[in-house]
Chains A and B, each alone.
Chain A
Amino acid sequence: MTTPVPYEVVRWESETADTATVALRPAGAALPSFRPGQFAMLYAFGVGEIPVSVSGISRADQGLVHTIRAVGAVSGALYGLRPGTSVGVRGPFGTDWDLPAARGHDLLIVAGGIGLAPLRPVVVDALAEPDRYGRVNVLVGSRTPDELLYRAEIGHWSTATAAHVAVTVDRPDDRWTGEVGVVTALLHRARFRPHGTVAFVCGPEPMIRATARDLVHRGVPAQRIRVSLERNMRCATGHCGHCQLGPLLVCRDGPVLGWDRAEPLLATREL
């Protein structure tokens, strides 16, 4: 295992009741640059280390942005870090979304819950160079309105860019006037040519499965549906064995992979 490199927390923004976006800057030498879809191992001093995707890449100052949902000991400690404190970072690890390969295609970016975090840099990069791609669709599902990430930014994508942006929630509150239901229900209004589309899908596994199956049904080739998977990871360097999924080591062969490879593996229960 390599040793983490210290990064300083320079910004902390609350997203939801249990989720925050933190910006990190190298305290000394920076790690090699990350690509959207890749992840870092973030070390909370004395508590532990967990895999977290990059939700933003600040190329100018070699900074990293992570959106962390506090679900346990380590994610809770990382969520609690405030500007001025430091974390240990290792990476970059894993495969990336490979947006450049989608040039000339319509883009379908489908996110569920915290799954929007690793997709955010894809949206940002795609919208920064709209001429490279066909129609850009961003479909976001959230359990409740309160759990929606990047609210202001989604508003901006929706109103100030040519992207088709749609948001749905499972359980609306009194103030919600938008769509209600699962994220796949947003597909019929998205604008894409199935054979000329690259899809990027991340969220809970059932959501990934439902979305990818729907897209295959609509004619999107399985290998052009890119999904990001999650498994327990202790090292991220292919040595701890925890992230195995059949023939894959998710830290090395994933987390992003084509649905053509992921589908048979996810179809086997408890693999």
Chain B
Amino acid sequence: MTDSGRSAAVVIGKDGLAALVEVLVERGRTVIGPTARDGAIVLAELASAEQLPYGWGVELEAGHYRLRPREDGMAFAHSAGPQSWKTYLHPQRVRQWSAERGPGGEVTLRADSDPAPSYAFLGVRPCDLRAIAIQDRVLTGGTYADPAYRDRRDGAFLVVVECTDPGATCFCVSMGTGPGVGEGDDEGYDLALTEVLDDAGHRFWARAGSAEGAEVLALLPRQQGLGTVAAEATATAARESVTAAAGRMGRSMPPVSLQRLMAGSLDAKRWDDVAARCLTCGNCTMACPTCFCTTTEDVTDLTGDHAERWSTWDSCFDLDFSHLHGGPVRESARSRYRQWLTHKLGTWHDQFGSSGCVGCGRCIVWCPVGIDITEEAAALHAETWSMLESPEGGARP
């Protein structure tokens, strides 16, 4: 397959989407995608494309999520739901190793050897594609790679769907992570789709970003052939609707270096203000697609001679998170919220070379008291700014 063949764009219809799920299933993949269930758009295993949330949109606000029927029947006109792909790539609970103790007290240790599932993710939003890339850097980009994550990730086939209808809590434009994706082989997706619905019908502009993506794309029924005038018109309509979506972001971050803002805000008064509202429940960390922290759990069976070590999601909002003999390092809610925000927007750059936030808005939606990361960043910016402006604050840097 040539490079030009890979990036070649075609247009598929709803039947093409149905065929895509079938092809992926036939290739032995577990297809995961969005579906409307229990009043939310959740990620679940899909047996057919009919389970996609055709005709469902979402209404989002701080601390508020509601499913809303759409008359247009669009499948991907909804933004981030309660879960993210980390549910599958970096699951909540993973066995790290098993250990056996022999009669002489000798210990044998075995790495967990469950084979990684072969996933296909259908409907990855551009922000979430970047979130996966961030977790890749954290979990496999350093001196040590997390082998279980690497196996699941290496085996995953990603179908991105660009965003044409951002939610009120979205701010991917501020973070440079959406609402569209680029074209070519290094974008990190296997297939990219853009949903188009206009007088010419309901269809998907599709292009491949990998050899396997091109192989799969070639197997799908085409509504509009390669290079035809109709296909070009669909591509143009798709690009236009993504550009329009960029102009309809519900939220934005202050247009400054957030890394510098965080580094300069450690003593801000705003932390006390947010600490008075924050319940330290950790919902934001569970919902966030990049939050990766884990703790460990050791279990033994009844004989006491078989032991296992598991890792489970953890939250920096938990008091035990920074536990040292003698007490936690971060005891106050203030210091724990500050750790979360300054890590996300600031020190993540120092540690892993990028921001830890992709602007998906999940933390805003799923915070029970509606704490809004963009509002907190703006307040810190206003406070730092006013301090720099004030006579005692000294000169602006």
CA distance A86 to B106 in the complex (A): 6
Choose, from A40-48, A136-144, A168-176, the stretch at the interface: A40-48
Say whether A196 faces chain B, with CB atoms less than 8 Å apart. no
- Across the interface, B142 reaches (CB within 8 A) one of A4, A234, A244, A252, namely A252
- Across the interface, A242 reaches (CB within 8 A) one of B101, B143, B322, B325, namely B322
Whether B294 contacts A235 by the Cβ 8 Å rule is: yes
The distance from the CB of B349 to the nearest CB of chain A, in whole angstroms, is: 8
CA distance A4 to B329 in the complex (A): 28
Whether A2 contacts B266 by the Cβ 8 Å rule is: no
A232-B323 CB under 8 A given contacts A6-B108, A49-B309, A242-B293: yes
CA distance A5 to B97 in the complex (A): 11
CB-CB < 8 A to B109: which residues of A? 3-6, 43, 88
The distance from the CB of B51 to the nearest CB of chain A, in whole angstroms, is: 34
Say whether B130 faces chain A, with CB atoms less than 8 Å apart. no
Say whether A1 faces chain B, with CB atoms less than 8 Å apart. yes
A252-B329 CB under 8 A given contacts A234-B296, A268-B266: no
Whether A239 contacts B325 by the Cβ 8 Å rule is: no
The distance from the CB of A242 to the nearest CB of chain B, in whole angstroms, is: 6
CA distance A167 to B73 in the complex (A): 79
- Across the interface, B105 reaches (CB within 8 A) one of A85, A230, A232, A241, namely A85
CA distance A241 to B314 in the complex (A): 9
Say whether A32 faces chain B, with CB atoms less than 8 Å apart. no
Say whether B88 faces chain A, with CB atoms less than 8 Å apart. no
The distance from the CB of B357 to the nearest CB of chain A, in whole angstroms, is: 15
The distance from the CB of B121 to the nearest CB of chain A, in whole angstroms, is: 22
CA distance A239 to B138 in the complex (A): 7
- Give the interface size bracket for B toward A: 35 or more
CA distance A4 to B107 in the complex (A): 10
A45-B347 CB under 8 A given contacts A72-B325, A271-B266: no
Say whether B280 faces chain A, with CB atoms less than 8 Å apart. no
The distance from the CB of A225 to the nearest CB of chain B, in whole angstroms, is: 22
Per-position binary interface string of chain B over residues 93-117, scored 1 when its CB falls under 8 Å from any chain A CB and 0 otherwise: 0001101010011111111000000
A48-B298 CB under 8 A given contacts A3-B110, A4-B109, A270-B335: yes
Whether A239 contacts B294 by the Cβ 8 Å rule is: yes
Whether B106 contacts A240 by the Cβ 8 Å rule is: no
CB-CB < 8 A to A249: which residues of B? 351
Say whether B354 faces chain A, with CB atoms less than 8 Å apart. no
CA distance A252 to B296 in the complex (A): 19
CB-CB < 8 A to B347: which residues of A? 244, 246-247
The distance from the CB of A41 to the nearest CB of chain B, in whole angstroms, is: 10
The distance from the CB of A243 to the nearest CB of chain B, in whole angstroms, is: 9
CA distance A241 to B330 in the complex (A): 14
Say whether B6 faces chain A, with CB atoms less than 8 Å apart. no
Closest residue on chain B to residue A81 by CB atoms: B105
Say whether A269 faces chain B, with CB atoms less than 8 Å apart. yes
Closest residue on chain B to residue A249 by CB atoms: B351
Whether A3 contacts B298 by the Cβ 8 Å rule is: no
Say whether A16 faces chain B, with CB atoms less than 8 Å apart. no
Whether A86 contacts B107 by the Cβ 8 Å rule is: yes
Closest residue on chain A to residue B335 by CB atoms: A270
Per-position binary interface string of chain B over residues 241-267, scored 1 when its CB falls under 8 Å from any chain A CB and 0 otherwise: 000000000000000000000000011
CB-CB < 8 A to B48: which residues of A? none
CB-CB contacts below 8 Å: A1-58 with B: 1-6, 8, 27, 43, 45-49
CB-CB < 8 A to B292: which residues of A? 239, 241
Say whether B163 faces chain A, with CB atoms less than 8 Å apart. no
CB-CB < 8 A to B298: which residues of A? 46-49
CA distance A271 to B336 in the complex (A): 9
CA distance A161 to B107 in the complex (A): 41
CA distance A12 to B295 in the complex (A): 30
CB-CB < 8 A to B144: which residues of A? 2, 237-239
CB-CB < 8 A to B314: which residues of A? 234, 240-242
Say whether A84 faces chain B, with CB atoms less than 8 Å apart. yes
CA distance A87 to B330 in the complex (A): 31
Whether A6 contacts B143 by the Cβ 8 Å rule is: no
CB-CB < 8 A to B311: which residues of A? 1, 234-235, 240
CB-CB < 8 A to A234: which residues of B? 294-296, 311, 314
CB-CB < 8 A to A87: which residues of B? 107
CA distance A241 to B135 in the complex (A): 12
Closest residue on chain A to residue B311 by CB atoms: A1
CB-CB < 8 A to B296: which residues of A? 48-49, 234-235, 240
Whether B335 contacts A269 by the Cβ 8 Å rule is: yes
- Across the interface, B293 reaches (CB within 8 A) one of A240, A269, A270, namely A240
Whether B143 contacts A252 by the Cβ 8 Å rule is: yes
Whether B107 contacts A6 by the Cβ 8 Å rule is: yes
Whether A239 contacts B339 by the Cβ 8 Å rule is: no
Say whether A217 faces chain B, with CB atoms less than 8 Å apart. no
CA distance A29 to B291 in the complex (A): 36
- Across the interface, A45 reaches (CB within 8 A) one of B99, B293, B351, namely B99
Closest residue on chain B to residue A238 by CB atoms: B142
CA distance A246 to B96 in the complex (A): 28
- If A238-B138, A270-B331 are given as contacts, then 12 extra A-B residue pairs at C-beta distance below 8 Å, sorted by A number, are A2-B111, A2-B147, A43-B99, A85-B105, A86-B107, A88-B99, A235-B294, A235-B311, A237-B146, A240-B294, A241-B292, A241-B314
| Contacts A/B (CB < 8 Å), 27 sampled | A1-B97, A1-B311, A3-B96, A3-B110, A4-B97, A43-B99, A45-B307, A46-B99, A46-B300, A47-B298, A49-B298, A72-B325, A88-B99, A231-B322, A232-B324, A234-B314, A235-B296, A237-B142, A239-B146, A240-B293, A240-B296, A240-B311, A242-B322, A247-B350, A252-B143, A270-B329, A270-B334
Q: What residues make up the interface of A, taking CB atoms closer than 8 Å to B?
A: 1-6, 8, 27, 43, 45-49, 71-72, 84-88, 230-232, 234-235, 237-242, 244, 246-249, 252, 268-271
Task: Please give me the 5 A-B residue pairs with the lowest Cβ-Cβ distance, nearest first.
Answer: A241-B293, A247-B350, A270-B335, A237-B144, A46-B307
